[in-house]
Structure formats: structure tokens, C-alpha cells
Amino acid sequence: MKTDSVQLKRYYDYIDEITILTKEEESVCKLSIQTYGRGISGLKLIKKKDTKDQFYEWRYYGKDNLKLNEDIPMLVFASSWYDKNIDADRFCGAPFDLSSDKKESAILFENSPHYYVLSYKLTDF
């Protein structure tokens, strides 16, 4: 009895998970972004500090409706800002999930002097 051998080949027509690894250093945050067997590493987010007490924090966006050909934000890496009323740098007012309250999230973008937004875009080809 003869059997035909079948070669299996993985095929993905969607990505259901993106893994982002970070390593914080004094003046930079190093990134590695992975999906399945592929990835990008060696990305660097430069921290642009105006004062010695300035710091950076991560915030994320919860699951959102997917839209073709539009940037879909995932993460924000933003710097604190100096508040002369309390004579200190601060990073408050923005929720951890930026998609939960757009009005409160605007505080972050209005006050942070420097930030990065990590996004992806879905395209149809």
C-alpha cells in the first residue's frame, strides 16, 4: 500500500499577537517587537530630558475597533513635565489605558514635552 506524503506549510493571514520587549537605560529605551517567528530588534527611543528629575512612563491603548489603512496606536512612551505649582516633575492625570478616557488622555499629550506613539497599520493587499 502506497501513501502520499504531504508537506505541511504554515500560513498566517492575520496576526493575533504582537510582543514588545523593552529595556530601560538612563538615556534610551531599547525595543524589540515580535510577531510569530519574525521581529525587529535594536530599536531605540531616545529620552530627551530637559531636567535631571525628568522621567518617562509607558501608557497603553486597550483593544479598539480595527480600521484598514489607519494608524492604530498601541503604546505611548512619554516624558514627565515640570509643574511650577509644586516645583517638581509630574506624570499624573493620564489613565494607564488611554482609550478609556479621551479627555483625561489629552492631558498627557498637552503637557508632555516629548513622547513616542507606537502604532500599526492594517492594509489589504
What are the tens digits of pLDDT across the range 14-48?
677 889 999 999 899 999 999 877 888 989 999 99
| H-run or E-run covering 39 | strand 38-46
Which of 103, 62, 66, 60 shows the shortest CA–CA distance to 78? 60
DSSP state for residue 108 in the 8-state scheme: H
Domain locations along the chain = 19-121
Tally the residues of the chain: 125
- Residue 95 carries which side chain, given as an amino acid letter? P
Task: Report d(CA 102, CA 71) in Å as an integer.
Answer: 17
pLDDT in tens, 91-120: 877 788 888 878 878 888 999 999 999 998
Which set of grid coordinates corresponds to residue 64? 479598539
